Amino acid sequence: MVVADVILIISRGGGAFFSRWAHVVVGITWIGLLYYFNFVQVPAFAEMDAAARNNAIDKLASRALWWFRWAAVLTVLTGLSILLFQKNADKAQLFSGDYWKSVSGMSIATGILLALTMFANVWLVIWPNQKKVIANARNVQAGGEADPAAAAAGRRGALASRQNTIYSFTMLMFMVGTAHFFYSGNGFKALPSSGDRATYWIIAIVIWALFEANALGWIGGTGQNVTNWMYESHKNALITGGVLVVIYYALFYLVLKS
Ligand code: HEM
């Protein structure tokens, strides 16, 4: 009976619906903590004395980072689950690539590109560097010598964290816009030509890559310089994130409007 009910729910579109619901729950957990780190914790830590900060890193930041990185994993998994369920009725279309050539497909593909980059930043940059910061705070609390490399590790993690904040607004525009705005019939092309798609992707990928390379320190290093202006305060990151939304919206609109 239970199995039959589950099959009924899924056949009525419940698989896509509950994946979508779970995706938003874990997505807000991840991005909510990202905003907490950027808008609350970093400015507060800057005003604390070293002993209080080390204690907060040990007891508070370490816990927040646990929820942060596992919420990121669940966000990716539930996002993939929506994709698999919602095109269930027409899997051939999803896997043949035709879906990805539509305006909606291009919208969600852009959102996923940004979200996967943010996911890689969490697991390959922010977390490995934060582990060093936490280990140092615990060691100093226990009376050990401070690790001279901890500050540089914190800085590398902070650049990636601010870059994730910058990407997040555009990423969410495409996540939400796929079903609610960027679709043919709403002023966008029914079938973008291969030329349209190439123009869009070349520009979209160049912008994405420049920002990510900058966050990794590959353009101007990790110090304070002109290209790292956007990472020096959460206000600068917010301004840059807003500008990026306008740039990607203008690109999508100009290339793909019908
Ligand atoms: C790699 C990671 C991700 C994947 C694979 C993914 C995938 C998806 C897919 C397939 C959709 C449905 C699009 C449609 O309407 O057709 C979606 C929607 C959405 N995603 Fe993601 N996503 C990812 C990351 C994120 C993140 C980090 C957030 C942050 C909160 C997020 C929030 C949302 C929201 C709010 C929607 C809109 C739900 C709706 O319109 O009903 N996603 N995502």
pLDDT, position 87: 63
Q: For residues 76, 82, 85 and 91, what is the CA-based torsion angle, rounded to 10 degrees?
A: -80
Rounded to a whole number of angstroms, the CA Rg of the chain reads: 21
DSSP 188: B
**Residues 15, 7: Cα–Cα separation, whole Å:** 9
* Residues contacting 112, CB < 8 A, separation 6+: 79
**Residues 254, 251: Cα–Cα separation, whole Å:** 5
Residue nearest to atom 9 of ligand 1 (CA): 79
Model confidence, pTM: 0.94
Residue 250 three-state SS: helix
DSSP 216: T
pLDDT, position 224: 94
Give the pLDDT confidence of 77-115 residue by residue, as tens digits.
Answer: 999 999 988 765 455 566 677 889 999 999 999 999 999
Report the atom number in ligand 1 closest to the C-alpha of 83.
10
Residue 184 three-state SS: strand
- Count Cα neighbours of 159 within 13 Å in the Cβ-side half-sphere: 26
For helices 194-215 and 150-180, angle between their N-to-C axes, nearest 10 degrees? 160
DSSP 1: -
Cα of 241 vs centre of ligand 1, distance in Å, is 18
Mean pLDDT of the chain: 94
Report residue 257 as tokens.
């409007």
Give the pLDDT confidence of 2-30 residue by residue, as tens digits.
Answer: 888 888 777 777 888 999 999 999 999 99
Q: Which of 173, 175, 180 to mutate to test the pocket of ligand 1 (most atoms within 8 A of CB)?
A: 175
Give the pLDDT confidence of 145-162 residue by residue, as tens digits.
Answer: 999 999 999 999 999 999
CB 82 less than 6 A from any atom of ligand 1: yes
Residue keyed to tokens 């780190």? 37
Does the CA dihedral 13-19-21-24 come out positive or negative? negative
Nearest Cα to 137, choosing from 159, 160, 153?
A: 153
